[in-house]
Every structure is written in C-alpha cells, then in structure tokens.
C-alpha cells in the first residue's frame, strides 16, 4: 500500500497524548503528557498539518466530574501543547456513557466526522490519519473513511488490540508512541 498524502491528523487523547488511567483523568493535575507527545504535535504544526483530538469522555456521563473540570483538563493540555510549539485545531469529545446510544462515541464515527467537518476535510478523509490506542479508534476511523494508526502507549493489551485491528484493516501500522508515528508520517 502506498503512503497517503497526509493533510490532517486526528488523535485520541488518553493513551496517545497523555498517560491513561483506569480510574479516568478526573482533574487537571492528573493530566500528564507521554514523553515526546507534545513535541510530536509541535512537529505536525510546524509542517502545517492540522491536528484535532477525538476522545470518548464517559466520566462526564458517569458524573465523575463536570463540564468545567473537563474544560480545565483540556485547557491544561492545550496550554502544554502550545508551550511546546504545537496547535490543536479542534477538540471533539463524547460526553456520553457506553449505553447512551449516541452517534459520537467511538467506535461510531461521530467524533471523527465532527473533526473532519471542522478541519474542512470531509471531501478527503483518505488524506487524514487517526492515531489511537484501541480497536474502537480503528473502527471509528474506518467508518469515517480515515486511515487508522495505533500506538502502544495506552493501558490496554496492545497485542489483542493489534490482532483485532488487523482483521479490520490489514495494513494497519503500529508504533511505540506518538512521536514515532509522527516521524513516520513526516518522513
């Protein structure tokens, strides 16, 4: 498979940009970037490749925190990304729980479609990459016509995720972390 001409990059948040927690990221002080992730986003920004975030945040639906706390977590993340020289063009997140039946919660493509619309990429999803750490991310990317990639920095069993993902997309690429995935995109 030839490498697509990449016009935008979509990222899952927890496990891709920042360390994931089985107990959720519930406060700004719990948000900690994975080494190299902020610089990777800055490299994309320097290459004029817009970056958007697509993240399930069911802790909102579960009542573990409120929208103002969610915004504070995102403000900390965006501030850290900007301090490193990066820019986030759009942040899409699903505030629903797993059983709410919404159209945005990954593996459904709603968040990815929202990001494509905000980036003006709805007519060229094949030129967009979604970097995630779960098969849900791969399913959402494929449902929206976006090229999926995986990183190993999430807390789930990556071998199982990779096996599931290869069945969905045989050409899936897997990288140690966001920094190595961005290096592959920019080479």
Cα 157 from Cα 162, distance rounded (Å): 9
Residues 140 and 112 sit within 8 Å (Cβ to Cβ): yes
Instruction: Look at residue 157 in the predicted model and tell me its pLDDT.
Output: 86
Give the model's pLDDT for residue 2. 43
Q: Which residue has the tokens 């797993």?
A: 98
Q: Which helix (H) or strand (E) holds 138?
A: helix 135-143
In the block, tokens 């800055």 appear at 42
Task: Choose the catalytic residue: 5, 14, 137, 177.
Answer: 14
- Tell me what pLDDT residue 11 has: 98
Is-catalytic flag, 12?
yes
* Cα–Cα distance for residue pair 93/58, rounded to 1 Å: 9
User: Which stretches in the chain have pLDDT values below 50?
Assistant: 1-2
Integer angstrom CA distances of residue 126 from 18, 59, 71, 106, 144:
26, 31, 30, 19, 9
**CB within 8 Å of 75: residues ≥ 6 apart:** 28
Give pLDDT, residue 4: 60
At residue 85, the pLDDT reads: 98
> Which domains occur in the chain, in start order?
8-186 (3.40.50.1000)
Q: Distance between CA 103 and CA 180 in Å, rounded?
A: 31
Largest CA distance in the chain: 45
Active-site residue (options: 5, 12, 123, 177): 12
Q: C-alpha angle 114/14/95, rounded to 5°?
A: 50
What single string gives the DSSP state of each residue in 20-37?
A: --TT---SGGG--BPTTH
- Please say if 100 is a catalytic residue: no
Q: 88-125: per-residue pLDDT in tens?
A: 999 999 999 999 999 999 999 999 999 999 999 999 99
């Amino acid at each position: 498979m030839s490498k697509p001409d990449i016009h935008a990059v979509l990222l899952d948040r927890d496990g891709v940009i920042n360390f994931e927690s089985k107990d959720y990221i519930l406060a700004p002080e719990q948000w900690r970037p994975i080494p190299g992730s902020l610089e990777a986003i800055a490299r994309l920004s320097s290459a004029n490749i817009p970056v958007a975030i697509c993240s399930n945040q069911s802790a909102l639906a579960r009542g573990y925190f409120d929208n103002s706390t969610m915004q504070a977590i995102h403000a900390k993340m965006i501030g850290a990304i900007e301090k490193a020289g990066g820019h986030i063009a759009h942040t899409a997140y699903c505030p629903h729980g797993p059983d709410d039946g919404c159209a945005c919660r990954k593996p459904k493509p709603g968040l990815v479609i929202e990001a494509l619309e905000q980036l003006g990429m709805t007519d060229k999803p094949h030129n967009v990459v979604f970097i995630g750490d779960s098969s849900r991310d791969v399913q959402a990317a494929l449902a929206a016509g976006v090229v999926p990639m995986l990183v190993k920095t999430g807390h789930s069993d990556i071998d199982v995720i990779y096996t599931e993902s290869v069945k969905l997309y045989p050409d899936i690429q897997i990288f140690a972390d966001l920094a190595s995935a961005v290096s592959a995109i920019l080479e």
